Chain A
Amino acid sequence: MKNSVHVLVFSGILAMVCAILLYAVTQFTEPLRKINEETDKDRNFLSALGVPIPKNVKPRELLNIFEKNVKIKKIGKITIYEYIPETSKSGKPIAIAVPFSGPGFWAPIKGVLAFEPDLLTIRGIRFYQQEETPGLGGEIASKWFQDEFKGKKIVSKNGEPGFRIVKSGGKSKKANDTNAVDAITGATRTSERVERMLDKVAKELYKERKNYVR
């Protein structure tokens, strides 16, 4: 009987102490964690849009840059992020970002495509959430793969909207259409899935584009 009381009292006190400690720490770190999580996405949007970000920028400053330079708009069902530099007088966007997402090989992939103001030519691409196999599918986060997209379009030479990631069979079969890049060798599945989500966003965007570009 005495034993049970001991167990109860001890576990009660321990649970209280642990709970208070955890509560205090989560409360204390919450604002910092929140801002980290938010700026993580913003940082990728800014970098895709080509907004200059100072080195070692504090999360709060980054949010500030984002708010000052980026305007969120909706065309049709698609949310777009316009980059209008705060110093610009004309108020015209110099780049536009469109987020995309879809299933990856292991876990969902989320990313953002940045376009020139014509909403056809790709300016940059970033993947801000991906857990693909490191060294294989994980290469989508690497610079060489993302650099491939620069200057590509979301329409083919023949004017068809869409996007392709081509399996390059040696040197002769390199991607040469305006809307195609080379796949990552050895990561067929990741390439296929990224292609699917890019193709979808390209087609949707092309449809809504008429309502946006005048």
Chain B
Amino acid sequence: MKYPKSILDKFRPSFEPGGKLSFFKPIFDALDYFLFLAPRTTKNPPFGRDPLDVKRYMSLVILGLVPSFLAALYFFGWRVLLILIVSYIAGGSVEVLFALIRKEEINEGFLVTGFIYPLILPPGIPLWMVAVGIVFGVFIGKEIFGGTGRNVFNPALIGRLFLALGYPAAMTGSWVKPGWLPWGKLLSSFTIGPPDAVTSASPLVLAKSGQFTPLFNLFVGNVSGSLGETSAIAILLGGLFLLIVGVASYRTVFSVLLSFVGFNVLLRLVAPSVVNPVLFNLLSGGILFGSFFMATDPVSSPVTQAGKWTYGIIIGLVTILIRSFSGFVEGMMFAILFGNICAPIIDEVIIRTKMRRYAREE
């Protein structure tokens, strides 16, 4: 590994301040860092007090997402890979552009955003729409707030929200029937062409008209839905891994799920005709995926422990309310974004109450 390193070192001066190519320094650094792991400390939050730096943190999250990604690949075919590539290229360009303008390092944060985002999209979505969504998500959801670590909202969700509200017809018409044993859709080509374009309503849409998909199918994942959210077992595999290594906060995950289940039970007692059964609700839609991978985003969720519980309870409640009583069949996206808005206020309130208590004790 010495040889390539010496090549990089040869070009280093021209990227240093004053050099000809100093504008492109962030790209050079990223390459250097990616290939040779130059020992450096993080300059931007989130800061960690343990060996878990941003980079390792991000790679662990991606590792946790791998089961869901593989499930998506199996059920919906190779097009998933295409969507992922588009997401990385389009969103990455915005990220690099802003790093150049700000003269900052290119942040690894985008690796996760660009990986989660395809998993919350419907399988049949046009590729240009994938690009538009992630560009909007990274630009409006993250960069204008100051970049990684300063975003109020989860950028991937902002991207999806933009598509869901901007192109509702295309988004609701892009559900695809999943493949099944033995090879899923692995043998199909990259396109979801006319022969495959049987749009099929997602379980939550069907539930509105009283058709409940069997729980086994929801658990395994051979149902229609967003790419990564259909297979409950894959999500649980990856999610539990994140809980064990301590990357995802168990407080957030449990509070979201407990509040969702709790309010579901309560509301079903009050209005059994409009509220779906608990297990069905828990296994369908984005509630599992959202609680493990999206609500736990350390930047857009509260910092305090009590804050995390409050935040999770809000998300669970809002989700079940939207699912049961609104025109939308799925509420996870709105609920997490709503939680994101509340997060800073929750922290503020909790920290102040604590400070007041300390002051009184002294």
Q: Which residues of A come within 8 Å of B, CB atoms?
A: 136, 169-170, 172, 185-186, 188-189
Contacts and interface: CB of A to CB of B under 8 A. Distances in A.
18 contacts: A136-B168, A169-B199, A169-B200, A169-B201, A170-B173, A170-B197, A170-B198, A170-B199, A172-B198, A185-B168, A185-B169, A185-B172, A185-B173, A186-B168, A186-B169, A186-B172, A188-B327, A189-B327
A169 B197 CA distance: 10
A169 B177 CA distance: 12
Chain B contact residues (Cβ within 8 angstroms of A): what range?
10 to 19
B352 to A, nearest CB: 40
Contacts of B173: 170, 185
Nearest to A136: B168
Please provide the 4 A-B residue pairs with the shortest distance between their CB atoms, ordered closest to farther: A186-B168, A185-B169, A186-B169, A170-B199
Nearest to A172: B198
Given A170-B199, A185-B168, 9 more contacts: A169-B200, A170-B173, A185-B169, A185-B173, A186-B168, A186-B169, A186-B172, A188-B327, A189-B327
Contacts of A169: 199-201
Nearest to A192: B327
A179 B173 CA distance: 24
A188 B201 CA distance: 13
Nearest to B200: A169
B179 to A, nearest CB: 18
Contacts, number: 18
B201 to A, nearest CB: 7
Contacts of B201: 169
A6 B173 CA distance: 69
A105 to B, nearest CB: 8
A186 B174 CA distance: 12
A78 B201 CA distance: 39
Contacts of B168: 136, 185-186
**Highest count of chain A CB atoms <10 Å: which of B168, B197, B201:** B168
Contacts of A189: 327
Interface string B196-223: 0111110000000000000000000000
B32 to A, nearest CB: 47
A189 B325 CA distance: 13
Interface in B307-357: 327
Contacts of A185: 168-169, 172-173
B270 to A, nearest CB: 22
A172 B177 CA distance: 14
Contacts of B197: 170
A117 B21 CA distance: 80
A90 B327 CA distance: 51
Contacts of A136: 168
B166 to A, nearest CB: 10
A186 B327 CA distance: 10
A188 B327 CA distance: 8
A64 B203 CA distance: 56
A169 B224 CA distance: 13
A189 B168 CA distance: 13
Contacts of B199: 169-170
Nearest to A135: B168
A170 B198 CA distance: 7
Contacts of B172: 185-186
B341 to A, nearest CB: 23
B359 to A, nearest CB: 50
A85 to B, nearest CB: 41
Contacts of A172: 198
A108 to B, nearest CB: 18
A172 B198 CA distance: 8
B253 to A, nearest CB: 32
